[in-house]
Amino acid sequence: MPRPLPPSLQLLWPLLLLLLLLLPPPAAPGPLAGPAVARVRTRGPVGSPGGRGAGVCKSRPLDLVFIIDSSRSVRPLEFTKVKTFVSRIIDTLDIGAAATRVAVVNYASTVKTEFQLQTYSDKRALKKAVARITPLSTGTMSGLAIQTAMDEAFTVEAGARGPTSNIPKVAIIVTDGRPQDQVSEVAARARASGIELYAVGVDRADMESLKTMASKPLDEHVFYVETYGVIEKLSSRFQETFCAQDKCASGTHGCQHICVNDRSGSYHCECFEGYTLNADKKTCSVRDKCALGTHGCQHVCVSDGAASYHCDCFPGYNLNEDKRTCTAIDKCARDTHGCEQVCVNDGSGSYHCECYEGYTLNEDRKTCSAQDKCASGTHGCQHICVNDRSGSYHCECFEGYTLNADKKTCSAVEEARRLLSTEDACGCEATLAFQEKVSSYLQRLNTKLDDVLEKLQVHEYRQVHR
């Protein structure tokens, strides 16, 4: 015999029977009846719930707006299921001002923006706000709801981030009926403005209307469930959809050097210092640092072919210890100049040859030849100019004159003057004797002068070349 019910259950039994009678009968199968949740293909990795592999998958930032149907056909308990569905999707996201922002648009025959994208940046406060939403009852104005989302939710003033942020704009519309307004044109404008539309149909939802609203590819943006009782199962599917794969961690990126994850769930490749990313955006080539103009070499930059370089100097310069700047080489000091007499530094690593006074630089620009100062007419000799072999000269006087102390002017010889003035009959012989005496004296004097000048020239040359 069956055991009798406890007294407490005996009192509750009539109430339980009444609840069972009030519950609606099971609904007829929808357009994609079969499994409880139907979707041809999901986007995101497969594996753990929502595809969130440890350290491989993370929520990417979104501007996310839920557009939820609260018309008369959605019973209170079912509307609670919708809010639970919204809360569970929120649980899978990184909520914050710099992460994902969430807004909710509630609609029936009228539309109400429950809160904006900038209203809540805390996940707990956001879920509490979702729990407080109440149904609006009559009508299913889906087109008006999408238009309101564009006008009131997806604006910078309401907290949406601008186009330069590259933050995706996503709307999820949940409905169980057929739209009572023209939804196709409004949905097309929303998609054209950059909003990605997901359509979730429940129970009696019209599949063609869902396809009209959703973005392409449709198999990734249209969902259907038989009842609100299983709508919560879609939260894991949306977690997969909004999951940003860490392709850098997965090792499938193909970057030759460095893989960098982007906030949008994608990635890009970069190169080590000294390399440049090639046109394929994956491989790297050695960068010519000399061509970049950042080498700091004073004179010449030389690429070494391994993303490095070294500095060099122009001819006539030496590289300093800093390996960047240059100093002019003193070629005169190195005695490699080849100048016969004088080497002169020009201060730019070069030099030129010069000659001593009385000499002229030859066409080879290195050797020197003695100047003919007597021919130049600048010697200053009163009578006779005589070129010396050393490139100098000396003055002499005509016969009957003697050179003065200034070595340039001449004076008449006193003895000759005296001899010429006598009336001695032997005057002519005396004059001749005197002339021979003076001539002999002058020859000896010239020989001694030549010897002295030659010795002075040798002495001067040695002094210069010490």
- At 197-239, the pLDDT tens digits run 999 999 888 999 999 999 999 998 999 999 888 888 888 888 8
For the chain, the average pLDDT equals 80
Percentage of the chain lying above the pLDDT 70 cut:
79
Looking at per-residue confidence, does 305 or 147 come out higher? 147
Instruction: Return the number of other C-beta atoms located less than 10 Å from residue 149's C-beta.
Output: 28
Task: Please give the pLDDT value at position 41.
Answer: 28
| Minimum mean pLDDT range among 9-13, 60-64, 320-324, 377-381 | 9-13
Cα gap 211→198, rounded to integer Å: 9
Tell me, what amino acid is at 297? C
Class of domain 291-328: mainly beta
| Minimum mean pLDDT range among 75-89, 110-124, 423-437 | 423-437
Taking residues 159-185, report their average pLDDT.
92
**pLDDT at residue 33 above 50?**
no
**pLDDT at residue 321 above 70?**
yes
Contact 367, 340 (CB under 8 A): yes
| Minimum mean pLDDT range among 51-55, 310-314, 349-353, 456-460 | 51-55
From residue 92, how far is each of 52, 89, 131, 327 by CA, in Å? 10, 5, 17, 67
Task: Please give the pLDDT value at position 39.
Answer: 33
Q: Token digits for 302?
A: 């030389």
Looking at per-residue confidence, does 334 or 51 come out higher? 334
| Minimum mean pLDDT range among 41-50, 94-103, 229-238 | 41-50
**pLDDT at residue 18 above 80?**
no
Instruction: Return the number of other C-beta atoms located less than 10 Å from residue 378's C-beta.
Output: 9
Q: Which CATH architecture has domain 247-287?
A: Ribbon (2.10)
Cα gap 247→53, rounded to integer Å: 12
Task: Please give the pLDDT value at position 155.
Answer: 96
**pLDDT at residue 320 above 50?**
yes
Cα gap 445→451, rounded to integer Å: 10
Identify the burial level of 316 via C-beta atoms within 10 angstroms of its C-beta, where 0-12 means exposed, 13-18 middle and 19 or more buried: middle
Task: Please give the pLDDT value at position 46.
Answer: 30
pLDDT band at 412 (very low <50, low <70, confident <90, very high): confident
Q: How many CA atoms lie within 13 A of 234 on its CB side?
A: 30
Q: Which CATH architecture has domain 380-464?
A: Ribbon (2.10)
Task: Please give the pLDDT value at position 246.
Answer: 66
Cα gap 300→286, rounded to integer Å: 19
Cα gap 427→415, rounded to integer Å: 12
Q: Token digits for 255?
A: 């970057």
List beta partners, residue 65: 103, 171
CATH, domain range 330-371:
2.10.25.10
Task: Please give the pLDDT value at position 48.
Answer: 33
Taking residues 21-38, report their average pLDDT.
38
Taking residues 284-291, report their average pLDDT.
80
Q: How many CA atoms lie within 13 A of 112 on its CB side?
A: 12
Task: Please give the pLDDT value at position 308.
Answer: 79
CATH, domain range 28-245:
3.40.50.410
pLDDT band at 422 (very low <50, low <70, confident <90, very high): low
Q: Token digits for 239?
A: 């977690």
Task: Please give the pLDDT value at position 426.
Answer: 57
Q: Which helix (H) or strand (E) holds 345?
A: strand 342-345
Instruction: Return the number of other C-beta atoms located less than 10 Å from residue 242's C-beta.
Output: 25
Cα gap 330→343, rounded to integer Å: 10
Taking residues 163-179, report their average pLDDT.
92
- Identify the CA nearest to 193 among candidates 150, 129, 250: 150
Q: Is the pTM of this model over 0.75?
A: no
**pLDDT at residue 76 above 70?**
yes
List beta partners, residue 199: 173, 222
**pLDDT at residue 267 above 90?**
no
- Residue limits of CATH 2.10.25.10 in the chain: 247-287, 291-328, 330-371, 380-464
